[in-house]
């Protein structure tokens, strides 16, 4: 469990995660409304694209926002407004085996959750200060082993 006292700490976690991601990774971000999923996704995407000021809108209404840069494809999805779990196949999230896919509200699609190679659970502590993050990789990688 990692304690993130502010947005700067969330951005640092996003940068650390981005450094560990590989082509084809499916990253699921879980947590209640306001837990920091979009803030973390922004930090990951900005790091992967090499642009700390890049505009990274929430895909809440569009559902999917693609990014291309530095020879990399990144897909950011938010399944909060997904009507039915079966609708996720129409979004094409898993169509590009080389894309890094970051999905908020993945629990709305058992298919996406089952394919996750990186899982981040975000929560707001009972004190209401900051947020906590638990990061799980589906392989040998970890935040403690940056070159994993």
d(CA 25, CA 37): 17
Give per-residue pLDDT as tens, 103-133: 999 988 888 999 999 999 999 887 778 999 9
Eight-state DSSP code of residue 69: E
Alpha helices for the chain (secondary structure H): 7-20, 37-49, 110-115
Give per-residue pLDDT as tens, 6-55: 999 999 999 999 999 999 999 999 998 889 999 999 999 999 999 998 99
CATH for 2-134 is 3.40.50.300
d(CA 125, CA 76): 26
The answer to whether residues 31 and 9 touch, using CB atoms and an 8 Å cutoff, is no
pTM, rounded to two decimals: 0.91
């Amino acid at each position: 469990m990692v304690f993130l006292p502010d947005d700067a700490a969330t951005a640092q976690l996003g940068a650390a995660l981005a450094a560990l991601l590989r082509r084809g990774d499916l990253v699921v971000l879980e947590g209640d409304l306001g837990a920091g999923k979009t803030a973390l996704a922004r930090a990951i995407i900005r790091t992967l694209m090499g642009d700390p000021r890049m505009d990274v809108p929430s895909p809440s209404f569009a559902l999917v926002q693609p990014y291309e840069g530095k020879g990399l494809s990144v897909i950011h999805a938010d399944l909060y407004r997904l009507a039915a779990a079966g609708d996720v196949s129409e979004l094409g999230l898993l169509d590009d085996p080389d894309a890094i896919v970051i999905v908020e509200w993945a629990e709305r699609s058992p298919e996406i959750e089952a394919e996750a190679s990186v899982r981040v659970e975000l929560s707001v502590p009972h004190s209401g200060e900051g947020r906590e993050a638990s990061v799980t990789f589906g392989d040998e990688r970890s935040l403690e082993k940056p070159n994993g």
